[in-house]
Structure 1
Amino acid sequence: MLAEMQGAFRRALLQGEASDALARIAASDMPSNLRLAVYRNNALGSLAAVLAAAYPALERLLSADNFRVLARSYVAAHPPRRPHLSSYGAELPAFLPVFHHTASYHFLPDLARLEWARNESLFAAEAPVLTGRSLEGVPPERLSGLKLPWHPATRLIESPYAIERLWHAEELGRGVAAGAQTVLVTRSAEGAILQRLASPGDVALLRAFAAGSDLTAAADAALAAEPEIDLQTALADHLARATFTLPQDLA
C-alpha cells in the first residue's frame, strides 16, 4: 500500500502523471490539483538546480530559461533512481541529441561529457597521489619500469569539437565549436577541479599508462604521437595536477 502510494506521488511529481496521486490526497480548502502542483514545481525546481550545478556552461550557453525547459524534460525522461543527488544527471549528454531544442547542436553532448567528467572528478574516491617527492631516490632503472595508474579523479575527454573553448564561451557564436580538442580533468590535493588541453603526445602517454604500460613504453608512445613533446615537462605537470595515484610498489 505504502509503496503504491509512493509510486503514485513519484510519477505525479516527476513525470506529470497525476491521476493516481490526486485520488489519494485528502480534501482541504485548497484544491488537490493545486496542492500537487506546488509540490511538483518545488521538486522539479530542485532537480533543475542540481542539473544546473553540474552543467553550468551548458546552462550559460542555452540561457537559464531554456536550460530549465531542458531540465524538466530530462527529469520526466530520467527521474532519479538513487538517493544521491551528486550522481544525478549522468544521462544528460545522451539526452541532448534526442531533445528537439538541442538536437541540431551536435557539439553540446561532448561539452556535457566534459562537464559531467568534472562532476565525477569532484566526487571521485580518495587515493594516495603520486607526487615528485614520491619519486625522490628511486633508481633510474626502477623508474623506467614504473607503471603509473590514473587517480580515480582523472578523466580524459576527447572530442572532434572545441569543448574547452565552449566551456569558457559566453555565447554560441559562429565557429566557437570548430576544431578538435582533448581535455584532461583532474582534482588537486586541495580538492579543486583542474582542466587543461592535452596534446596528442600527452593523450598517448596517458592512454598507455591506462593500458598498464610502464614509463618507458608510455614515453615511446608519446614520442611516436608527438615527436616534439617535452616528456619531462609533461610528467612534471601531471605530478603537479595529481593525475596519477601512488603505484603499489612505491607505497
Structure 2
Amino acid sequence: MTICAPTLLELQRAVRRDMLGLADGDASGYVVADGLAPQARLGIYRNTANSTLLAALRLTYPAVQALVGSEFFEGAARLFIEQCPPSSALLDSYGELFPEFLARMPEAASLVYLPDTARLEWAVNEALHAPDAKPLDLRRLEQLNGADMQAVRFLPSPAARVRESPFPVDAIWHAVLSRDDSALANINLAADPVWLYIHRGPSGVEMNRMAEGQCRFTAALLAGRPLHDALVDVPDAETSVWLAHLLASGCFVDICLSNEASSQAIGRQVT
C-alpha cells in the first residue's frame, strides 16, 4: 500500500485548521511524536497562536481593555478569536469585526458606548498602519479650468477616516488612555453626538471634531463624489474653510476628473 505524502499546501492548511481549533482540523497525523504526543506538540503552537492574536487585540483596543478590565477583555477576545479567526497573516489587519462582536455581547450590553469606542480605536489603528502617501500638490488645482472644477474628485489618503457617534467617544478615548479619572467622571454620555475626522499627521494619528455638515462633506469626498456634488449637499459658507483644512492636513493624495475625457488621475503621487 502506497501512502502519498501531503503537499506543502495541504500540510499548511491542516496545521492552520488545527491552530485555529476548527472542527475539521487534525494535523496530528503529520507530526512525529518524538517523546511528545502529536496533539500536545500542536497544542504548544496553538497556545502561541492564540496568545499572539490576543496581544494584537490588546494593542489595537487599549481603551476598550481599560474600560472593561483585563480579565473581561481577555475572555471576550478569546471568544472572538474562536469565532472570528484571522484570514490574513498581517496582524495589524486583525480585529476589524471586534466592535460588532462587542455590540452583540450580552455581558457588555450595559456599556452602551463600548462598541463605538471600539470603532474609534479601529479607525485609529487603520490610520496608524495605513501606507505612506504624499499629500496632494495644491498646484495641481491651479491647472483646472471652470469645467474641470465641476467634475474634480479627490483621491483620499489611505490614512484618512471619518467617524460619528451619539456618545463623546473621543473624550472617553482620551480620558482613558491618559488615565484621567476626573475627566472620565465628568463625561456626559447624553451630550450631543460627535463627528470626528481622523488622520495621520507628521506627529502621529490626530483626531478633530467637526460639525455634522462637515462630516457629511468629508465623507462624500472620501467616497469619491465630485466636489461640486458634495458642495451642493452641504451649502455652508464655512465649507470652503473646512476644505482648506482637509487639504492642509493631507487628507487627499491626488485628483481626477469624473468626465470621460479626463478619467485618468492627474499627477498621481501615492508612494
C-alpha spacing 1:8/1:129, structure 2 compared with 1 (3 Å): same
User: Does the aligned pair in 1 maintain the 2:196–2:209 contact within 8 Å?
Assistant: yes
C-alpha spacing 1:29/1:122, structure 2 compared with 1 (3 Å): same
Quote the offset at 1:248 in angstroms.
3.2
Counterpart position of 1:213:
226
Q: Say yes or no: does 1:52 pair with 2:54.
A: no
Q: Which amino acid aligns with 2:165?
A: S
SS at match of 2:52: helix
User: Does the aligned pair in 2 maintain the 1:131–1:239 contact within 8 Å?
Assistant: no
Counterpart position of 1:161:
167
Counterpart position of 1:234:
242
User: Does the aligned pair in 2 maintain the 1:184–1:197 contact within 8 Å?
Assistant: yes
Output one character per residue of 1:139-169: Cα deviation in whole Å (capped at 9) or x when no partner.
7847853433322322111222222122213
Q: Which amino acid aligns with 2:86?
A: P
Identity of aligned residues (%): 30
- Report the RMSD for the aligned CA atoms in angstroms: 3.5
Please give the TM-score of this superposition, normalised by the length of structure 1. Answer: 0.77
- The one of 64, 67, 75 equivalent to 2:73 is 67
Q: Which amino acid aligns with 1:183?
A: L
Counterpart position of 2:215:
203
Residue ranges of structure 1 left out of the alignment (5+ in a row)? none
Q: Which amino acid aligns with 1:192?
A: G
Counterpart position of 2:91:
85
Return the alpha-carbon distance in structure 2 between the equivalents of residues 147 and 13 of structure 1.
45
Output one character per residue of 1:189-232: Cα deviation in whole Å (capped at 9) or x when no partner.
x48322211212211321343352325x53443335xxxx6334
SS at match of 1:148: strand
User: Does the aligned pair in 2 maintain the 1:15–1:77 contact within 8 Å?
Assistant: no
Return the alpha-carbon distance in structure 2 between the equivalents of residues 116 and 222 of structure 1.
28
Q: Say yes or no: does 1:222 pair with 2:234.
A: yes
Greater strand percent: which structure?
Answer: 2
Counterpart position of 1:150:
156
User: Does the aligned pair in 1 maintain the 2:166–2:194 contact within 8 Å?
Assistant: yes
- The one of 85, 101, 120 equivalent to 2:126 is 120
Residue ranges of structure 2 left out of the alignment (5+ in a row)? 1-5, 258-265
Counterparts of residues 167-182 of structure 1 (less than 5 Å): 167-170=173-176, 173=185, 176-179=188-191, 180-182=193-195
Please give the TM-score of this superposition, normalised by the length of structure 2. Answer: 0.72
C-alpha spacing 1:239/1:13, structure 2 compared with 1 (3 Å): same
User: Does the aligned pair in 2 maintain the 1:96–1:102 contact within 8 Å?
Assistant: yes
Return the alpha-carbon distance in structure 2 between the equivalents of residues 174 and 102 of structure 1.
22
SS at match of 2:156: coil
Counterpart position of 1:15:
21
- The one of 80, 87, 101 equivalent to 2:107 is 101
